[in-house]
Amino acid sequence: VSSGKVQIGERTYEADEMTNVTPKILSHLGRNLHLQKYHPLNHISQRISKFMYSRYLSPRGNPLFSIHDRLQPVVTPHQNFDSLLIPKDHVSRKKSDNYYINKDFLLRAHTSAHQSELISMGFDNFLVMGDVYRRDEIDASHYPVFHQVEGVRLTTKSELFGSHQNMDDFQLFENTERSETQQGVHNLEAVKLLEADLKGCLEGLAMTLFGKDAEMRWVDAYFPFTHPSWELEVKLNDDWVELLGCGVIEQEILVNAGVIDKVGWAFGLGLERWAMKLYGIPDIRLFWSSDSGFLSQFKFEDSSKNIRYKNVSQYPQCVNDISFWLPGDGAYEPSDFYDLVRNIGGSTVEQVTLIDNFTHPKKKMTSHCYRIVYRHMERTLTQEEVNVIHKEIEKTAAESLNVVIR
Binding site for ligand PHE (CB under 6 A): 110, 112, 150, 223, 226, 229, 245-247, 266-268
CB of 58 to ligand PHE, least distance (A): 24
Among candidates 105, 118, 113, 104, which has minimal Cα distance to 86? 113
Nearer to ligand PHE, 232 or 341 (CB): 232
Nearer to ligand PHE, 224 or 280 (CB): 224
Nearer to ligand PHE, 146 or 210 (CB): 146
91-105 b/e (C-beta count within 10 Å ≥ 16 → b): eebebeebbbbbeeb
Nearer to ligand PHE, 83 or 226 (CB): 226
State the SS3 of the chain.
CECCEEEECCEEEECCCCCCCCHHHHCCCCCCHHHCCCCHHHHHHHHHHHHHHHHCECCCCCECCEEECCCCCEECHHHHCHHHCCCCCCHHHCCCCCCEEECCEEECCCHHHHHHHHHHCCCCEEEEEEEEECCCCEECCECCEEEEEEEEEEECHHHHHCCCCCHHHCCCECCCCCCCCCCCCECHHHHHHHHHHHHHHHHHHHHHHHCCCCCEEEEEEEECCEEEEEEEEEEECCEEEEEEEEEEECHHHHHHCCCCCCEEEEEEEEHHHHHHHHHCCCCHHHHHCCCHHHHHHHCCCCCCCCCCCCCCCCCCCEEEEEEEECCCCCCCCHHHHHHHHHHHHHHHEEEEEEEEEEECCCCCCEEEEEEEEECCCCCCCCHHHHHHHHHHHHHHHHHHHCCEEC
Nearer to ligand PHE, 155 or 351 (CB): 155
CB of 135 to ligand PHE, least distance (A): 14
Nearer to ligand PHE, 132 or 138 (CB): 132
Nearer to ligand PHE, 223 or 279 (CB): 223
CB of 84 to ligand PHE, least distance (A): 8
Sign of CA dihedral 104, 110, 353, 381: negative
CB of 1 to ligand PHE, least distance (A): 26
CB of 114 to ligand PHE, least distance (A): 11
Nearer to ligand PHE, 228 or 345 (CB): 228
CB of 260 to ligand PHE, least distance (A): 21
CB of 334 to ligand PHE, least distance (A): 21
CB of 112 to ligand PHE, least distance (A): 4
| CA distance from start to end of the chain | 31
Nearer to ligand PHE, 97 or 392 (CB): 97
Cβ atoms of residues 119 and 259 within 8 Å: yes
CB of 229 to ligand PHE, least distance (A): 6
Q: How many residues does the chain have?
A: 406
Nearer to ligand PHE, 127 or 246 (CB): 246
CB of 293 to ligand PHE, least distance (A): 31
By beta carbon distance, the residue nearest ligand PHE is: 268
Q: φ and ψ at 95, to 5 degrees?
A: -60, -30
